[in-house]
Structure 1
Amino acid sequence: MVLYHAIQTGVGVDGHGWRRLRDVPLFARLPDADLVALWNVSVPRRYAAGEVLRMQGEPADHLLVLLSGSTAASAATAGGRVVRFGTWRGPCALDKVALLDRAGHTATFTAVGACSVRAVPRARFMTLLDDSAAVRAHVLRLLAAQARAQQDRLTVTMTLPCEARLAAWLLEAAADSGPLVSLPGSQQGLADLLGVTRVTVNRALSRLRGDGLVRPAPDGRIELLAPELLAQRATRHS
């Protein structure tokens, strides 16, 4: 009776809105009863901007479900260099791969702003993976997409100069945000993402600004002035 009431009202047995899990792509096709069960077995967490959700290499005992907010993923190389992978916005499930191989979290996840998270025990996630064809298919698509993206990024890093990489990143970011693009934390964060130094990024931004392709906005974002010309720069090899 309690479970029936929860499904009808959209409020979990613990008094919270389990329907928020429906917006997470990984869980989008699960029956309501499974969503209620997931909600009630998960642990709620809130993080302020700058707080670390998980550290690279830490045991992945829970699946982190980011309900709202954004988190940046980064990793340190053996030589101490920080590599930034990008920013993830909720609702989404973070670092699913780490739960599969048990080798620890693949990156350090840091809250960009205030974040609301549900932590699902790994055992429950693995059971879901075994029982749900939809969840298995989603994870397989994710792994395939990650492998392809990694290959594409390696190709870009090895063949394109910084200005072309920067132009490509600005266009990709603008596809989600519009002509005003926020840097991933700072110029240093952008440098880590592109695999270059902050000085190199600063010079590339200056060239794009000098050519009238972008300009700094008063709030610190970058405004794209000529996306079609920026697209030409994104494919330039020299």
Structure 2
Amino acid sequence: MDFDALRKIPLFSGLDDAACDRVTSQSSTRMVPADTVLALEGQPCDSLLIIEVGKAVALRTSASGRVARIRVDDAPVAIDKATALTGQNHLFTWMTLTRCRVRTIPRALFLDLVESDRSVLLQTAHHLATQANRSRADFLDAAIQDPATRVLNRLRERADSHGAIALDDGQDGLAAELGLSRVTVTRALGALTDHGVVRVRRNHVQLQP
């Protein structure tokens, strides 16, 4: 992996060549197929996982066996940074949605970078603040917003620079992510389509200008 590619990961965007060399030399990469478990809920976190290519999803399973989809992360991204920072057990099960290239960085190296490199420290702080704000926004949306608004907010959050969203595991995945039923999500997308807000084609959604 060249240094420019490593710096595309927001967490490492400010690393100099020496730090990049250290990360690449002390980490490992592997290609994994879709539906591969990368980290298991309740398992100790001993490394920071980087998705260099592909998409990963965070899942949480209730005592009754109900699976909730928490979030989807697109490459290039470091996943579960907060858990790697604290060293606690994983709160979620992380699984690949697509074929992925995954880099594993020892937790000790990540912590040393946080302590020694100002850019990594600032990116980590930014991530934690963003995560806290998102959690509050999700809570408020669930409490006061109608399903169509919640669906639209999540689509806007996941859209690329052209307003396109790929639903890799279909509307079922979006429903699980929001804690809604598939029927509710289908109706919400239908209402948004009728109002000219989105265009839906199979597992792809396009936000309309």
TM-score (norm 1): 0.79
How many aligned positions are there?
A: 209
Q: CA deviation at 1:82?
A: 2.0
Instruction: Name the structure 1 match of 2:137.
Output: 152
Q: CA deviation at 1:104?
A: 1.5
Amino acid at match of 2:87: R
What is residue 37 of structure 2 aligned with on the other side?
A: 52
Greater strand share, 1 or 2? 2
Q: What are the residue-to-residue correspondences of 1:3-152 with 2, within 5 Å?
A: 17-152=2-137
Separation in 2, partners of 1:128, 1:209 = 46
Query: Mind listing any 5+ residue stretches in structure 2 that lack a counterpart?
Result: none
Residue 183 of structure 1 and its aligned partner are, at CA, apart by 2.1
2:181 corresponds to = 197
In structure 2, the residue matched to 1:13 is none
Q: What is the rounded CA distance, in whole Å, between the counterparts of 2:122 and 2:198 in structure 1?
A: 40
CA distance in 2, matches of 1:81, 1:24: 32
Q: CA deviation at 1:102?
A: 2.1
Q: Deviations over 1:73-118 (max 9, x none)?
A: 2212334322222221122211111122222223222222221121
| SS of structure 1 residue aligned to 2:38 | strand
More off after superposition, 16-25 vs 151-160 = 16-25
Letter in 1 for 2:14: R
SS in 2 for 1:165: helix
TM-score (normalizing by structure 2): 0.88
Pairwise CA distance, 1:211: 4.8
Give the aligned residue type for 1:110: M
CA distance in 2, matches of 1:182, 1:94: 19
Could you tell me whether the CA contact under 8 Å between 1:87 and 1:184 is conserved in 2?
Answer: no
1:166 matched residue in structure 2? 151
How far apart, CA to CA, are the structure 2 residues paired with 1:204 and 1:153?
17
- Residues 173-198 of structure 1: per-residue CA shift (max 9 Å, x gap): 34x15354322512221111112112
Aligned match for 1:216, one of 196, 200, 209: 200
SS of the residue 1:59 aligns to: coil
Give the residue type in structure 1 aligned to 2:200. P
Contact 2:58–2:69 (Cα < 8 Å) also in 1? yes
Structure 1 gaps of 5+ residues are 1-15, 228-238
Q: Distance in 1 between matches of 2:137 and 2:87?
A: 26
Shift in Å, 1:125: 1.2
Amino acid in the other structure paired with 2:204:
R
User: 2: CA distance between counterparts of 1:35 and 1:159?
Assistant: 45
Q: Which amino acid aligns with 2:37?
A: V
Q: Distance in 2 between matches of 1:23 and 1:133?
A: 17
Instruction: State which structure, 1 or 2, has the greater radius of gyration over its C-alpha atoms.
Output: 1
Question: Which amino acid is the alignment partner of residue 221 of structure 1?
Answer: H
1:167 Cα offset (Å): 2.3
Letter in 1 for 2:178: L
Give the share of equivalent positions with the same residue, in percent. Answer: 34
The alignment yields a C-alpha RMSD, in angstroms, of: 2.1
